[in-house]
Chains A and B, each alone.
Chain A
Amino acid sequence: MTKSDALFVDEGIKSLIPQRSPILMVDTLYEATTDEATAGLTVKEGNLFCKDGKFTEPGLIEHIAQSASAFAGYSARLQGKPAPVGYIGEIKKFHLNRLPDEGSTLLTHIKIMGVVGNVSLLTAEVSVDGDIVCTTNLKIAIEEK
């Protein structure tokens, strides 16, 4: 996965999701199919969710939610629709292996498991340098504009 081959990077991500600095927690959408996507974030110094040199649990979960939101924004764009707003409806079976270091590049794989009405159920896995740092299931409520 390299940024040069990615679908959307840095400023371009803003066309897919409504979140802005200081809580913009995804910087790359590498690839996307109809039900799977890979996104990423390089945790810069001074990131809102860093403490004592580590990227903390709420940051990881927000990054996953925004990765899913970017995926939803990308899918909407393919259909000629504006980027929707996504809210976390439920976090389930979150498990943390370790907190990534500040400066790490997170690679996040999202798989949509089902859609009921405007709610998407997805499973996500975040890795750094090939090691899984956390896994979770999320329900994201999508509010179309």
Chain B
Amino acid sequence: MLTNYFTLLDQQPQQDGSILFTVKLNPDCEVYEGHFPGNPVCPGVCNLQMLKECIEHYTGKTLIISDIKQCRYTAVISPLTQSILNFKAMITEAENGYSVQGTVFDERNIYIDIKFQLTINI
């Protein structure tokens, strides 16, 4: 698994009960050698993994994505032009894990809109 895809810079509880994560993408991550050669674009699934790891960091649990109700990728992300991203997540406890609804954005755009279920990996 990639360990140098991003750095979690901050996680702040918000007044509405959600958590605001701030992440920094690493343009030197080896995944960009293949996605795509000479044209680094964030693989949508690597961003999905990044969101999962943010939730794991916050909850202190090892999680598995058991269901994705919907995950919309509304704009392309490149680590060269979108270095810092925000992930605002409403995390609620559910059976055997968490139900999460969130968006990924910066000051210019919304990139990902997601509702998914994470199960605690025992």
List A residues at the B interface (Cβ < 8 Å): 18-24, 48-51, 56-59, 61-62, 65, 85, 87-96, 99, 136
Q: In the complex, how many residue pairs between chain A and chain B have their CB atoms under 8 Å apart?
A: 86
Residues of A within 8 A of B35 (CB): 19-20, 23
From B20-28, B36-44, B85-93, B101-109, give the one contacting chain A.
B36-44
Q: A96 contacts which of B33, B36, B66, B69 (Cβ < 8 Å)?
A: B66
Q: Complex formed: what's the CA distance from A50 to B1 in Å? A: 6
Q: A91 contacts which of B1, B31, B68 (Cβ < 8 Å)?
A: B68
Interface size on B, residues (CB 8 A): 29
Known: A20-B34, A61-B45. A89 touches B64 (CB 8 A): no
B84 contacts the other chain (Cβ, under 8 Å)? no
| Majority-rule SS of B interface residues | mixed
- Are A90 and B34 neighbours in the complex by a CB distance under 8 Å? no
B10 contacts the other chain (Cβ, under 8 Å)? no
Residues of A within 8 A of B37 (CB): 18, 20
- A18, A58, A93, A95 interface centre (most CB from chain B within 10 Å): A58
Name the residue of chain A whose CB is nearest to the CB of B41: A87
Name the residue of chain B whose CB is nearest to the CB of A58: B45
